[in-house]
Amino acid sequence: MANFTYTARTRAGEKIEGSVEAADRRTALLQIERMGHVPIAVKERSAEEIRAPSSGFSWTAWLSRRPHRLKMSTREVLIFTSELSDLLASGMKLSNALNALSHRRTNSAGDEIIKTLRDEIIQGTSLSDALAQFKESFPTLYVSLIRSGEVGGNQPEVMQRIVKHYERLQEVKEKVIMALVYPCIVLFVGFATLVFSMVFVIPRFASIFEDLGSTLPLPTRILIAISTGMIHYGWLIAIAIVALALLFRRYLDTEPGRMWWHGMQLKVPLIRDIVMANAFTQFSRTLGMLISNGVPVLDALAIGERTVQNTVIAREIRNAKERVTDGTTISGPLAAGKIFPPMLTDMLAIGEETGDMSGALAHIARRYEAMLDRSVKIFTTVLEPILMVLMAVLVGFVAISILLAVFDLTNGLNVQ
């Protein structure tokens, strides 16, 4: 295959440049015309030109070397899938639909990804294989569903299901994030207020107390010592905190670290209910989606394992997959691990008996979505007073320490 560079005009009259791989110049011209362009000049690149380093940055060249580094956000993937589904449903060919989407100018990595997908389709690659090159943008679940649509010949319908599926998962994710926004704001403001008091307010009181020369109460001495330590060694404390945070993050990136952290999440009250409801919702949605599209049960379990973010629950799904013997019954193996609750496995068993596993999984997902909503509300309702009490204790300690010293000084003046 030779490499050809070309200059062409779009249907709108815009002048563009690019490159294609083809057996000969005639085939290259045909490929450019299939993209909907009008060729102006087509030139074959020599081997020396292909090997020579480029003097400037080129998205196309960089993409061809490292295509997996470009990444689309979840929202961009949803928009791309929805638009591509609509174009295919209208009767447009896949290559023409991708070509139409490639003309958009969003100045994002998605533009280059869509152009690469278009070129791969024109060269005869299937859409699922082309998408598999960008694993960071299109996960295994997405590619597997697209492949099932290619086999069944119902790609537009499958893409609409993908959009609905990921929108639901995105809603669940946003619910959990929103539940943590308020506590994080309260903690940040409270911490900033305490640091400001320790660095700027307490030292002024300390200098006043020192000039008066009286003996200070123990809480006041502790407060002044903390303030002095933060002023003189604050940079060391900040470096130590950052270093510990980085070490802790590196530990969590290891397999034992993830297992410990995710295991702790399943033991802490309130947090446990949110994590489990979120994981079971994602698992049920994913498994039901895959099974309804004809994906084998074992393959569906393997993909469902990757979509669950909690490592402990994902490991239990992997163990259940290994315990599955007939390839269809999965409620028993899931129940054997004691991680999945009886309600989930019992409902799944009913779906297996009636032959409607996808319907049973959809019902399970709805139940755990409702449970997630309740758990998030309970979490935020309980967390707010806890944070308020914590901040009141810290601020109260500062205020009482100052007031005790003031009262002692006042009593001393009265005695004199």
Model confidence pLDDT, tens digit, residues 369-409: 888 888 888 887 888 788 888 888 888 888 888 888 888 77
DSSP state, 71? -
DSSP state, 24? S
What does the angle CA 339 – CA 340 – CA 344 come to, to the nearest 5 degrees? 170
Report pLDDT for 46: 58
- Its CATH architecture, for the domain 2-52, is Roll (3.10)
Report pLDDT for 412: 59
Query: Is the whole-model pTM more than 0.85?
Result: no
Residue whose token pair is 């099974």: 291
342 Cβ partners below 8 Å, 6+ apart? Answer: 335
Report pLDDT for 85: 85
Judge whether 304 and 290 are in contact, CB under 8 Å: yes
Judge whether 180 and 368 are in contact, CB under 8 Å: no
Sign of CA dihedral 192, 193, 198, 203: positive
Number of H helices, E strands in the chain: 18, 3
Report pLDDT for 12: 64
Fold of 155-416: Receptor-associated Protein (1.20.81)
Report pLDDT for 105: 66
Fold of 67-138: Receptor-associated Protein (1.20.81)
User: Which residues make up the CATH 3.10.20 domain(s) of the chain?
Assistant: 2-52
Please give the structure tokens belonging to residue 220. Answer: 């006041």
Residue whose token pair is 């899938």: 81
Written in H, E and C, the secondary structure of 79-119 is HHHHHHHHHHHCCCCHHHHHHHHHCCCCCCHHHHHHHHHHH
Report pLDDT for 248: 92
Report pLDDT for 240: 92
**Among candidates 2, 9, 186, 161, which has minimal Cα distance to 85?**
161
Report pLDDT for 415: 47
Please list the ranges in the chain whose pLDDT falls under 70: 1, 11-14, 45-70, 105-107, 152, 213-214, 325-328, 412-416
For the chain, the first-to-last Cα distance in angstroms comes to 102
User: Which residues make up the CATH 1.20.81.30 domain(s) of the chain?
Assistant: 67-138, 155-416
Question: SS3 of 20, please?
Answer: strand
Distance CA 148, CA 285 (A): 17
Please give the structure tokens belonging to residue 237. Answer: 């404390």
Residue whose token pair is 């447009």: 92
